[in-house]
Structure formats: C-alpha cells, structure tokens
Amino acid sequence: MIYRMLSVLVLSAVLTIWSMLPALGDVSMDSPFAAAVTTALNIPSSICSPKILHAAQIDPYALVEWQCGEGGGELLLQLKDGTWQPVNGDGGSYESRDLIALGIPEGAAVQLVQQLQAQWSQEK
C-alpha cells in the first residue's frame, strides 16, 4: 500500500518536471489496449504520451505495462462490451495475489503475471 502511494507521488513529481519538456511520441496505436491506457491515465498530451511496453492477455483480462516519460507502471484492463476498460492501475507492478484481490480468477491472475514477466526476461 505504501509502495503504491509512493509510486503515485513519484510519478506526479516526474510528470510535473516532464511537463516543462517537449512531448514524447504517440501511444502505440497498434495495440488494442491503447485507448484504455490513454483514458485511464488521463495525462494531457502536453505532458507526455503514454507508450505500451508489454501486454499480457487472458480474456477477458489484460495486464499492460506502460511508460509515460520517466514514469510508468502496470494497468489492469477488462474487456466489456467489446471495449477494453481500465479496472485498476495506480503505478507500480502487480503480483498475482494483487490481481486475485481485485477479483481476477487465480488461474488468469497467475498467467497474466507470468506472461508479462516472460516478456521482461526476453529483453535481457
């Protein structure tokens, strides 16, 4: 809990500083999650444009890692009525137990986290 609150404070500070610099590139529009990430973060494009770094999907859920300037985190999405909607994501990263606490079935929660971690390990 304290880690998430600290993450939000750090992200706010970074975004404030970042607002004095030119904006970054656009959201990765080839991702089906781009609109949900942009909506959930609600960060003016004059500050920065979020980028999707990695994504894991176990329908109807997705776990998306995003970056905006020097800040970033993970965002939990759910497919509702054909559109990806933000469920939760206040900065930081999720463990499967966090997703389970949000109501995600255990099997899906474990798979989402494993898929995302596998993408991290492929970059090393």
Question: How does the average pLDDT of the chain come out, rounded?
Answer: 76
In 3D space, the residue among 84, 65, 54, 69 whose CA is nearest the CA of residue 13 turns out to be 69
Q: Write the single-letter amino acid at 35.
A: A
Residue 113 burial (CB < 10 Å; 0-12/13-18/19+)?
buried
Judge if pTM exceeds 0.75. no
What are the strands of the beta sheet with 83-88, ordered from one edge?
A: 51-58, 61-68, 71-80, 83-88
15-65, pLDDT tens digit by residue? 443 333 333 233 344 578 888 888 888 877 778 888 888 899 999 999 999
